[in-house]
């Protein structure tokens, strides 16, 4: 692609500039800043739709008492149980158990603080779905 043909389609990453390589008039590759291009923006928008649907489904499970707020925060932060285990120091098996509302309600302050620290939120925020 030639330097003057690099797309500048603003979209999902508004304000973010990326660097692509394109050829200049001498045929030499050079760095060119781009705001994005339409196919990339469409794909990113679709990916965010899926993520937002998963977060909302998790929130609904918490509201209806089918899951603990921990599930909501996993989806919201786009992390797996394994990743949370690494970040918090809580075993993967215990995390699965703590996804149950009854188990989450009985968690010690120390365990809640481990989760909150791993998710970079307060304990109060951990208990909510906002």
Token representation of residue 103: 């188990």
Q: Where does the pLDDT of residue 8 fall: very low under 50, low under 70, confident under 90, or very high at 90 and above? A: low
**Cβ atoms of 57 and 25 closer than 8 Å:** no
Instruction: Output the pLDDT for position 82.
Output: 96
pLDDT tens readout for residues 84-127: 999 999 999 999 999 999 999 999 999 999 999 999 999 999 99
Instruction: Output the pLDDT for position 50.
Output: 96
> Hey, what domains does the chain have and what are their CATH numbers?
3-36 (no CATH), 57-126 (1.10.260)
* DSSP three-state, residue 15: coil
pTM score of the predicted model: 0.76
- For residues 7-27, give the mean pLDDT: 71
């Amino acid at each position: 692609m030639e330097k003057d043909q690099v797309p500048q389609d603003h979209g999902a990453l508004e304000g973010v500039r990326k660097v692509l390589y394109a050829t200049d008039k001498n045929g030499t590759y050079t760095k060119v800043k781009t705001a994005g291009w339409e196919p990339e923006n469409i794909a990113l928008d679709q990916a965010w739709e899926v993520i937002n649907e998963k977060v909302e489904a998790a929130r609904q499970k918490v509201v209806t008492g089918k899951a603990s707020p921990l599930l909501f925060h996993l989806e919201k932060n786009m992390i797996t149980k394994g990743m949370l285990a690494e970040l918090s120091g809580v075993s993967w098996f215990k995390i699965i158990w703590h996804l149950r509302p009854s188990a989450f309600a009985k968690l010690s302050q120390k365990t809640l603080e481990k989760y909150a620290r791993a998710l970079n939120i307060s304990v109060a925020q951990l208990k909510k779905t906002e």
